[in-house]
Chains A and B, each alone.
Chain A
């Protein structure tokens, strides 16, 4: 609220009062108040900050002037402090208390630790400094050995809050100093008792303390605790310690009259109890076999180190003798070792050996080891299951005769180079049917386990089993090999995995195969098999095949093998080859037939006598009678039968099939250029007429009735003037010889030798006189012998 009359310098007139909350203008309602004052009221409907300044402004000379301010703070009543606790420091007997503050009230809050002695007024013990939630009440304000009431009081503008009241005797919350261990001794000597002496701090001398002693050996998992020791006694005795064992001792105390705070544990003090000769018997196990040479018995004796409670100190070694100790005289030792096994040769027939352990304090009584035969009744059953990654539970079924004990032996597969001398244990309870083995057990390794029942007079025959403490997928899968392949089958084989790579029992293999169309097929194969035949494959198809080896804990895929099936199977290939062979053989036979069979040969390649090398006198009687035999039906008629000579027309585009193959049948002579006088063209030439058009056009003459002349140009030799030969009208294969000249190659197919007819030299070569006895030539000479001479220019 602002009143104009209070503000000097304001001009009379309109006074305008405005408000600002920090920098935010606020609208007030201004009115004229009593006495000419101007009153502006402002109500903040909501205030959502913890603190702010509300400014009052008045306009003066055109500028806004700050004329007043109000601090506004918002918050809550103080929260209730909690978790108040105190501790008395015995060095200065000051009580330090701490607590948890409640939620922030956003308002200035004063906090104090209040206290009230019995029926006394409330006083302030201390106030926390520097924002801490703790403070210390000095000794002067305390009432020792009497209940005091303490609490924390928090006060702000909106109220006061108090914590729960704490009623304590300050001495009950004293923080004690730990006692100091002075000496530890074995008293009385040679017993398992230890006497501990300690001192309490001088400041605690007047207190009745109750203390605790704790101790442990290095092998112990936890401390052993001795409670209820009176602190003022300064010494305490405790028994049951192991001999020859290093112990660490600690002690702490608290006031016996109050459930106050324990002191810290005192600094540790070490003490090793004195040693005593080892006690008890040793667990021993052996294997014996007769030596090959000298009849001695080779014995491997193994034993277990005595348990801590029986070792009575640090065992320095073991002695093995063949006879027991008598009247204090030591028999000669066959083994004196610090190990827990010994190999030695004993005389044949040795049935007992004696084993003892010794330490610095003496030697134990000898354990008699009887080398019994292993022929007793075996177990009825045996199995092993994992007991963890590093242990196996072995369960067995007892034999009918109850054994006195059992021996379990285990061995890693494959056998480790050094073996494992510790890999055996004895179960002394003959009624037990299970044992946990853990020495040297590693995961993913196979162990062969043997269990021997021990009877009073024999050792039972062992029963074996194999086990893994943990399995995983094999390290790798076997490599597939293709053993054989056909059109639809492929036989695959693989090498079994080495045991060290199996990582578990192989429960089976799975073969996967797929072709390019991504049809994946698979087949499971038993663990004992090492080959598999994939059937019903498509012929001539590429397949990818891989194998997966599985244990109970996982599977591993092998590398992929690519194979292509055959197009044909073996029988089909054999059949094909057989068929081809047969065809070939038939062809050979056919050729041979052609070669050997004269008639057939003659059918295709008639034998043509070489007129040039024959004389009619020799030829006629020899050849003529044969002609009718070779050509049935008298292909070579006599002169009387020749009625016509016809010029054979060659079918257009067709080669007489026999023409190319019958070189000897071709006329060797030349034809007259102008055959008109004796050659009739029944039809003007077609094929050859195109080649010799002039000859076609000249076919208007009267045909000659005794001969037909066939004309044809050889394919591809159209430029060569067609040659004509004469043929008997009765289609005799015997050609008419137009060329009287002797041929140097009488059976050569001169038809193909276009130059041959012209090869005749112009100055001669053709016989001047044709043999008059040749019937055809005779006939030709009838028509005009002079024409035959023109063959030279043809």
Chain B
């Protein structure tokens, strides 16, 4: 129960992190920057790569633990308290580039840590999970550097947010936890991808 509380606390922390939003360059200016376009183009591909790898791991979980359908695991999910990393700044209605980039970076960091649970769950696919973690870190770093290159405001994530590994009460919960980490990560990447693509099309 204690662990569950901690996970919930982590989720709340992710959702309600104190954003420090500053004025940045208008999007119209960004869209004409060739470097920015190149950044978007490359990292869209990078996001696709990560999405592909996550999908591969989801297939592995499905094949290995017969955990394939999210609808069948909603009840356990409530117990696990695994939350989706927030990306509301990246939605088209409330799109804000700097905030979106910050949310993406933040979420990537969260999933980079959560993937450790998946690595424990799938030791035979540890290399793929590690690659995924590295990719998530690289994508985050790419965004950070691009934001810096653009002169946008950056957010320094609080140190206490770093990687509290979720605790699972049973092997099954661990498996379901892994399943939802991957599922959430996939959804997160999809949203991030759409946000980047949106920027690329401007």
Contacts and interface: CB of A to CB of B under 8 A. Distances in A.
A46 B17 CA distance: 73
Contacts of B142: 143, 145-146
B45 A208 contact: yes
B103 interface: no
Interface in B29-88: 38, 41-43, 45-46, 48-49, 51-52
B135 A144 contact: yes
B48 A206 contact: yes
29 contacts: A93-B131, A117-B141, A119-B148, A139-B134, A140-B134, A142-B138, A143-B138, A143-B141, A144-B46, A144-B138, A145-B42, A145-B43, A145-B45, A145-B46, A145-B138, A146-B141, A146-B142, A146-B145, A169-B42, A171-B42, A202-B52, A206-B45, A206-B46, A206-B48, A206-B49, A206-B51, A207-B48, A257-B38, A257-B42
A205 B52 contact: yes
Interface of A: 93, 117-119, 139-140, 142-146, 169, 171, 202, 205-208, 257
Contact of A257 (B45, B49, B141): B45
Interface string B111-144: 0000000000000000000010011001101100
Nearest to B142: A146
A44 to B, nearest CB: 55
Contacts of B41: 257
A207 B134 CA distance: 18
A206 B52 contact: yes
Residue of A171, A205, A206 ringed by the most chain B CB atoms within 10 A: A206
A698 to B, nearest CB: 171
Contacts of A206: 45-46, 48-49, 51-52
Contacts of B45: 145, 171, 206-208, 257
Interface of B: 38, 41-43, 45-46, 48-49, 51-52, 131, 134-135, 138-139, 141-142, 145, 148
Contacts of B46: 144-145, 206
A627 B7 CA distance: 196
A208 B197 CA distance: 14
B-side binding surface: helix, strand, loop or mixed?
helix
Residue of A93, A118, A139, A145 ringed by the most chain B CB atoms within 10 A: A145
A112 B120 CA distance: 35
Nearest to A202: B52
B70 to A, nearest CB: 23
B145 to A, nearest CB: 5
A169 B145 CA distance: 14
B35 to A, nearest CB: 10
Contacts of B131: 93, 139
A202 B135 CA distance: 17
A119 B145 CA distance: 9
A181 B152 CA distance: 46
Nearest to B56: A202
A652 B134 CA distance: 159
A208 B135 CA distance: 18
A118 B52 contact: no
A144 B42 CA distance: 9
B93 to A, nearest CB: 28
A766 B21 CA distance: 198
Nearest to A172: B42
Contacts of A93: 131
Given A145-B42, A205-B48, A207-B45, 17 more contacts: A93-B131, A117-B141, A139-B131, A143-B142, A144-B46, A145-B43, A145-B138, A145-B142, A146-B42, A146-B138, A146-B141, A146-B142, A171-B42, A206-B45, A206-B52, A257-B38, A257-B41
Contacts of B148: 119
A234 B172 CA distance: 40
A139 B49 CA distance: 15
A207 B42 CA distance: 9
Contacts of B141: 117, 143, 146
Nearest to B146: A146
B139 to A, nearest CB: 8
Nearest to B47: A206
B190 to A, nearest CB: 13
Contacts of B138: 142-146
A202 B43 CA distance: 18
**6 smallest beta-carbon distances between A and B, as pairs:** A206-B48, A206-B49, A145-B42, A145-B46, A144-B138, A146-B142
Contacts of A146: 42, 138, 141-142, 145
Contacts of A257: 38, 41-42, 45
B109 to A, nearest CB: 16
A206 B52 CA distance: 7
A654 to B, nearest CB: 150
Contacts of A207: 45, 48-49
Nearest to A170: B138
A170 to B, nearest CB: 10
Contacts of A139: 131, 134
B197 to A, nearest CB: 13
A202 B52 CA distance: 9
A259 to B, nearest CB: 13
A321 B43 CA distance: 72
Contacts of A119: 145, 148
A145 B145 CA distance: 12
A205 B47 CA distance: 12
